[in-house]
Structure 1
Amino acid sequence: MTKYFMVDLFMFASSFFKKHKKNYRSVKDQQLTIAAKANIFICIIFCLFWTIYFAFAQMWLIVYMDIFFTLISIFSLFLIYINRISAGILLSQVVLLVFPVVFCLFFDIATVDRPQVAHLFLPAGAILGYLNYRRDPSYLQFILILLSIGCFIFFSGTSFNLESAIPLSEDIRNHGGWIATCAATLMICISIYTMQLEIQIENSMVKDLRLALAKQQFELFYQPQINSSETLIGAEALLRWQHPTLGYVPTKDFIPAAETFGLMPEIGEWVLAQGCKVLQDWSTKAETKDLTLSINISADHFMQASFEQTVIGMVQKYQINPSRLILEITENIALNNCVSMIEKMHFLSKNGIQLSLDDFGTGYSSLSYLQKMPISQIKIDRSFVQAALDDKRSNKLVTGIIKIGLDLNLRVLVEGIETTEQFSAFKNNGCTEFQGYLWGCPMPLNDFLKQIAHFKK
């Protein structure tokens, strides 16, 4: 059965670069899942083999321990099969940490003729954990990775064991050492090969992103923004990537890669240019001339030395009303370079550009710098929406956020509204502007223009 896992892994690797049939996120998830299943399956077979062996040898303490770790491994495999990938890998990483450490301390005692081998399983757990950390970062995952590496270094450099240790016989260690070494090496090879595939996929994505810019594969979608009387007041422009073979690639799949490889300033400049073109076109039509357009700005794009001059240059080039352009920045931008950021914001504000603080309440800088920022709007993150209806403390928090905004004469927009109940609740709490699926999902420009007539005037 291990053979089938290896066939799956190699077939998957070769087929990906021949046929782009899935989005990047699902591809990376699939390869990580295959690697995790293969490694966990090897653990299960390894533990079952020694369970049977030590049962015949009547070494019941090791038998019970092997059964315990086998059951945990089976459960982690089950979690992965039901698509709880991160949880399954975390649990398997615990097994690949605790099992070798316990064996090194109590049973696998180094001798003049035979070294310890149980600790060889630790790198496999660390590599697999690193792949999972790249996919879904967490402090627990990071700690497990560090512990696995630290324990591997410790047991590789010392022959430490406990006084209560029960050394295995030389006959068992003679054959068992080779079996354990082969199993651990196979698991390490699978994990390294998966890491290589992930790097290749990321490199392929970067090449495709550069090609997307050159061949105009990016597109802006528009999500309606309305006021408390449900009158359309504008839209948020959201980037979409129309890949020639993958179709629409979700932003969560390619934006992190674009940020990592420094492509966001170039992509962001394209978005700004497209947004200004749209505002120029809207300004010539009675039904759209008063609409605003919100554009998200990444931190590395905003902190470009010539960012503010570029924005003003585009406003002048397309001859648009600067007050119709809203630049959305996140609170985390303030953590990069507060003084420089605020200077840029004041320059843009003096030239008529509106500034919005996106995902308000999810960062750490808002209350410290809010009074210094020349912003005209704050956006309450969608994560607060349902929580405010279900939990009294969350409701009080949201009410406080809205009050802070209104007291500072800021417009308060809440995003992620999906039901009339949510709309009524935030409207009654004083929120002035709204965005969400209740009035429309992000849509191509032509579809957005067709929807304008459906909003109350």
Structure 2
Amino acid sequence: MIAPGMINGDLLLCQVAERLVQATRHGDTVARLGGDEFVILMTELSNTEEVAAVQSETLAVKLLTKVSQLYDIEAISYQCSASIGITIFNRSADVVGDLLKQADMAMYKAKATGRNRVCFFNPKMQADVNTKAEIIQELYTAISNEQFELYYQKQVDDHGHAIGAEVLLRWRHPMKGMISPAQFIPVAEDTGLIVPIGQWVLQQACQMLASWAKASATEALTIAVNISAIQFNKNNFVQTVLDALHKTGANPRRLKLELTESMLVSDIADIKTKMSALQQHGVMFSIDDFGTGYSSLFYLKQLPLNQLKIDQAFVRDILVDDNDRAIAQSVITLSQSLKLEVIAEGVETQAQRALLQSMGCSAYQGYLFGKPCSIDELEI
């Protein structure tokens, strides 16, 4: 089972399908299961499971290579990756539906290990599915019982003065305690539960902005909110944000929505329309983790952005790694050329901050200035 990364709708899917057909053998079957998922049925494999596995993996690697090659769509070059899940069966296999589920589990396991991977089904995956089902049920309860909390991480300027904060979602389970976002955010995105959760986060963030606006010491502070691709792609996303602002009375010029790079290569026209509509009201946009994804100059030119965020992966070793230092400098220089703000995250030492400042960075976020904490613990 194969799921190529989202890039440009039907035109991309057609080209992917052509490549899959070209890469498979005569007698194999290629079918589109739905969305961006394809199924390939391989026949005439060895009766020995180990040999059949090698044969399957050989084709899978070939498919990964084919799918990852550049695509020319409407005079623009794109590149994507695929995740492949494999299950081996014979005539005694139970039900076709079960085989598809097994392949699906393996595919999602491949995605979880970093995409552009091949993964075989094994019984442990069934246990993982059961765990996921438990999390889904508990997420519904968490939404109903308001078990989520917002933590805040301070953002500062050159002088260490607070200019705002990023809100980070936390789940305090009544029995299990604090559950890591890494455990529940992917599940929430897979199930669509990230939409109501994201709406709650927006509402709470706007409510805090409205509260800060009542005091001179905090009225100029901004709040950055991470937006899921699933949440952003909803037709009513713009209205959802405007409703949260209107209901709370928050200043839209103090709200910053953080988008990831991977979101920006799907439907550029729709993204630009939504961003422009919100920006007309004063809402700002930042690209989170810039440099870790596609880093396309095309969308930087096309989209109404306000800020680029240097990912902590480049900040962590910036003092000792020439490549990280060069990438950080490139992001800063690019931001200055495009008249965009730039902020570095993951700053943990004065030496890192000093180097970034010498390179032209003027805003920072990280443990040096404060760990994520509750609003009562936030020092502004």
2:372 corresponds, among 442, 447, 456, to: 442
The CA distance in 1 between the partners of 2:292 and 2:364, in whole Å, is: 18
**Post-superposition offset of 1:383:** 0.6
Spell out the pairing of 1:410-429 with structure 2 (5 A cutoff): 410-429=340-359
Amino acid at match of 2:135: M
Match of 2:362 in 1: 432
Is contact 1:335–1:365 with CA below 8 Å preserved after alignment? no
**Post-superposition offset of 1:314:** 1.5
Secondary structure at 1:378's aligned position in 2?
strand
Q: TM-score, normalised by structure 2?
A: 0.71
Secondary structure at 1:339's aligned position in 2?
helix
What do residues 237-288 of structure 1 show as CA deviations (whole Å, max 9, x unaligned)?
0000011111111111100001111111111101000101111111112221
The CA distance in 1 between the partners of 2:362 and 2:304, in whole Å, is: 19
- Asked if residue 346 in structure 1 is aligned to residue 311 in structure 2, the reply is no
**Post-superposition offset of 1:98:** 7.5
327-336 or 232-241: bigger deviation: 327-336
**Post-superposition offset of 1:132:** 5.8
Spell out the pairing of 1:359-374 with structure 2 (5 A cutoff): 359-374=289-304
Amino acid at match of 2:113: D
Look at both structures and tell me which one has the larger radius of gyration over its CA atoms: 1
The CA distance in 1 between the partners of 2:261 and 2:108, in whole Å, is: 28
Is contact 1:385–1:417 with CA below 8 Å preserved after alignment? yes
What do residues 205-235 of structure 1 show as CA deviations (whole Å, max 9, x unaligned)?
0111111111000000000000011111000
The CA distance in 2 between the partners of 1:332 and 1:132, in whole Å, is: 19
The CA distance in 2 between the partners of 1:339 and 1:418, in whole Å, is: 38
The CA distance in 1 between the partners of 2:323 and 2:287, in whole Å, is: 23
- Asked if residue 400 in structure 1 is aligned to residue 330 in structure 2, the reply is yes
Gaps of 5+ in 2: 1-48, 55-88, 94-101
Spell out the pairing of 1:42-441 with structure 2 (5 A cutoff): 97=50, 133=110, 135-137=112-114, 139=116, 142=118, 145=120, 191-192=122-123, 194-441=124-371
**Post-superposition offset of 1:100:** 8.9
Paired-residue identity, %: 37
The CA distance in 2 between the partners of 1:346 and 1:434, in whole Å, is: 26
The CA distance in 1 between the partners of 2:52 and 2:230, in whole Å, is: 44
What do residues 36-72 of structure 1 show as CA deviations (whole Å, max 9, x unaligned)?
xxxxxxxxxxxxxxxxxxxxxxxxxxxxxxxxxxxxx
Secondary structure at 1:431's aligned position in 2?
coil
Is contact 1:346–1:374 with CA below 8 Å preserved after alignment? yes
CA separation of 1:306 and 1:365: change in aligned 2, threshold 3 A = farther
Is contact 1:384–1:398 with CA below 8 Å preserved after alignment? yes
Gaps of 5+ in 1: 1-95, 102-118, 146-187, 453-457
Is contact 1:332–1:365 with CA below 8 Å preserved after alignment? no
The CA distance in 2 between the partners of 1:427 and 1:98, in whole Å, is: 57
**Post-superposition offset of 1:134:** 5.9
Q: TM-score, normalised by structure 1?
A: 0.59
What do residues 149-191 of structure 1 show as CA deviations (whole Å, max 9, x unaligned)?
xxxxxxxxxxxxxxxxxxxxxxxxxxxxxxxxxxxxxxx9xx4
CA separation of 1:367 and 1:196: change in aligned 2, threshold 3 A = same
More helix by share: 1
